């Protein structure tokens, strides 16, 4: 969440500064409108995009890498002499912050909905006329004309007595036809959800001011009298603004609007600025989303065997698929410093066909594949860790070396060394890289089972495998 807020805020700020320093000063209002809206969407999406680049790696690799980060270099292992259960201290700050956020967001949401209801309720209680194919809501209250969705709201007496200048009608009709209210509602929703981020307030001001630029531009193009329209705006200036969700004549009738009415921007300058804007967005995308990987970085695929409706070995409630998945996740979580790239083929309890696993492995082209399994036997005395490699794998010798080293690493007083054997298992045979299948003990053996199903045992195995793959 913090990463999302940081990246989105940096993007929002950079694009807003570019708008105010460059785009706002140019007469290219339609482009500016879409730039502001795209900036909002872009900044909300960009934190979720991540591409890792390695010249030795297929492009699909970046789609399946997933690394977790924890604050420890090794997983905790409790001394055997104690029987300590994991006691997690509850952190009340996180739920308290979420509760605070939810309450404030709910209050602001109710307020937002209430504003819309008040505006739309006026339309139901007031006289409605059609002017130039646009609905006009005639109100009894004193107000300057303003627009909401497809309707213009104005004072009834002013309308019936002809006190509304044609320029004002054109101004408000522009807001209606260009659907400016949708932009305002969109930014209001974002303001409600991200009420703690003041940047959305500035975006709303920029969007609404640009709406006024667009309406002013259409008025001048239609009536061809800049000085009259400027004087009209100055005469209509008032401190009263009916609703924050509406587009109205009085919004920021400032020196900026008057200056922009007489400003011209050449086509060549417009094209250059548009190109600069696109390059700016592209630069942010590259800086935030792309993460270069060292060319010599080791890539390890951890294949947690079985999954889904395939439980693997099972003794009572203990299932092979769950144990190896836990160990795989623990291995991945140890990669705090990103010393290596770890790919988990199976994330969660789902079934993946063997050919699909091999297909993914060969797309990644890793340094090593470790397929995690747990054995079972009718002979309950069989125990220990052993591994398999395939002679049909072109990296047989490298696979054998890795398998021996891994078995030696995992072996301890609780898991005997069962050595390395040859086998033609599908994954280790068809992977186009060094590959081994390791059976981390026997579920059918009580001592192995006790060790494999314990938190301490799984932590110790994960620590040893991670230390092995780091070498």
Q: From first to last of its 471 residues, what are the pLDDT tens digits of the chain?
A: 777 888 889 889 999 999 988 888 888 899 999 999 999 999 898 888 766 555 444 433 333 333 333 334 566 655 544 443 443 445 677 788 889 999 999 999 999 999 999 988 988 889 999 998 899 999 988 888 889 989 999 899 989 888 888 988 999 999 999 999 999 999 999 999 999 999 999 999 999 999 989 998 999 999 988 888 888 887 776 544 555 555 555 445 567 788 788 787 777 888 888 888 888 888 887 877 766 655 567 899 999 999 999 999 999 999 999 999 999 999 999 888 777 889 999 989 999 999 999 999 999 999 999 999 999 999 999 999 999 999 999 999 999 999 999 999 999 999 999 999 999 999 999 999 999 999 999 999 999 999 999 999 999 999 999 999 988
| CA dihedral of 268, 272, 278, 281, whole degrees rounded to 10 | -150
Nearest C-alpha neighbor of 324 from the set 176, 247, 434, 438 = 438
| Cα 323 to Cα 3: distance, rounded to the nearest angstrom | 31
Judge contact between 439 and 385, C-beta under 8 A.
Answer: yes
From residue 285, alpha-carbon distances to 20, 109, 200 in Å are 20, 31, 20
Nearest C-alpha neighbor of 176 from the set 205, 155, 213, 146 = 146
Confidence (pLDDT) at 238:
52
| Cα 384 to Cα 375: distance, rounded to the nearest angstrom | 9
Give the right CATH number for 298-470 from 3.40.630.40, 3.40.1410.10, 3.40.50.410, 2.30.40.10. 3.40.630.40
Write out the DSSP string of 398-446. Answer: HHHHHHHHHHHHH--SSS-EEEEEE---HHHHH-SS-EEEEEEEETTSH
Confidence (pLDDT) at 62:
36
User: In this structure, how many other beta carbons lie within 10 angstroms of the beta carbon of residue 49?
Assistant: 12
For CATH 3.40.630.40, list the domain ranges present in the chain.
298-470
Confidence (pLDDT) at 84:
37
Confidence (pLDDT) at 54:
53
Confidence (pLDDT) at 248:
54
Q: How many CA atoms lie within 13 A of 301 on its CB side?
A: 29
Confidence (pLDDT) at 73:
54
| Cα 142 to Cα 157: distance, rounded to the nearest angstrom | 9
Residues 314-338, buried b or exposed e (16+ Cβ, 10 A)? ebeebbbbbbbbbbbbbbbbbbeee
- DSSP state, residue 341: E
Phi, psi (degrees; rounded to nearest 5) at 319: -120, 140
Confidence (pLDDT) at 78:
54
β-pairing, 151-155 vs 146-148, is antiparallel
User: What angle (nearest 5°) sits at the alpha carbon of residue 315, between those of residues 312 and 320?
Assistant: 30
Confidence (pLDDT) at 94:
76
């Amino acid at each position: 969440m913090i990463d999302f807020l940081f990246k989105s805020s940096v993007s929002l700020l950079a694009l807003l500064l570019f708008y105010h320093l460059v785009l706002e000063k140019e007469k290219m209002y339609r482009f500016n409108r879409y730039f502001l809206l795209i900036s909002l969407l872009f900044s909300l999406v960009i934190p979720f995009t991540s591409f890792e680049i390695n010249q030795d790696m297929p492009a699909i690799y970046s789609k399946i890498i997933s690394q977790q980060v924890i604050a420890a270099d090794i997983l905790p292992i409790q001394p055997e002499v104690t029987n300590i259960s994991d006691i997690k201290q509850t952190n009340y700050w996180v739920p308290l912050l979420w509760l605070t956020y939810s309450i404030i967001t709910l209050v602001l949401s109710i307020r937002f909905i209430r504003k819309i209801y008040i505006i739309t309720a006026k339309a139901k209680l007031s006289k409605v006329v059609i002017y130039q194919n646009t609905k006009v809501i005639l109100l009894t209250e004193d107000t300057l004309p303003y627009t909401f969705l497809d309707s213009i709201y104005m004072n009834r007496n002013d309308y019936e007595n002809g006190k509304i200048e044609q320029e004002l009608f054109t101004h408000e009709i522009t807001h209606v036809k260009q659907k400016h209210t949708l932009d305002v509602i969109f930014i209001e929703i974002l303001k409600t959800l991200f009420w703690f981020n003041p940047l959305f307030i500035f975006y709303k001001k920029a969007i609404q001011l640009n709406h006024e630029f667009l309406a002013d531009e259409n008025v001048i193009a239609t009536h061809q009298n800049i000085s009259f329209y400027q004087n009209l705006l100055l005469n209509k200036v008032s401190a009263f603004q009916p609703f924050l969700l509406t587009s109205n004549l009085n919004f920021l009738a400032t020196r900026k609007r008057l200056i922009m009415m007489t400003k011209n921007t050449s086509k060549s300058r417009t094209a250059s600025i548009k190109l600069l804007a696109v390059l700016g967005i592209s630069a942010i995308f590259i800086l935030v989303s792309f993460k270069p990987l060292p060319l010599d970085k080791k890539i390890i695929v951890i294949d947690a065997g079985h999954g889904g409706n395939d439980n693997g070995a099972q003794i009572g409630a203990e299932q092979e698929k769950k144990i190896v998945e836990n160990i795989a996740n623990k291995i991945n979580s140890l990669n705090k410093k990103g010393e290596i790239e770890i790919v988990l083929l199976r994330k969660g309890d789902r079934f993946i066909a063997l050919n699909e696993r091999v297909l993914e492995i060969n797309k990644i082209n890793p340094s090593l594949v470790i397929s995690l399994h747990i054995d079972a036997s009718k002979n309950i005395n069989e125990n220990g860790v052993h591994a398999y490699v395939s002679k049909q794998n072109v990296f047989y010798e490298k696979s054998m070396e890795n398998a021996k080293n891994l078995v030696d690493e995992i072996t301890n007083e609780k898991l005997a060394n069962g050595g390395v054997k040859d086998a033609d298992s599908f994954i280790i045979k068809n992977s186009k890289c060094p590959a081994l299948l390791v059976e981390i003990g026997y579920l059918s053996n009580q001592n192995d089972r006790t060790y494999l199903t314990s938190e301490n045992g799984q932590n110790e195995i994960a620590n040893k495998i991670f230390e092995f793959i780091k070498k």
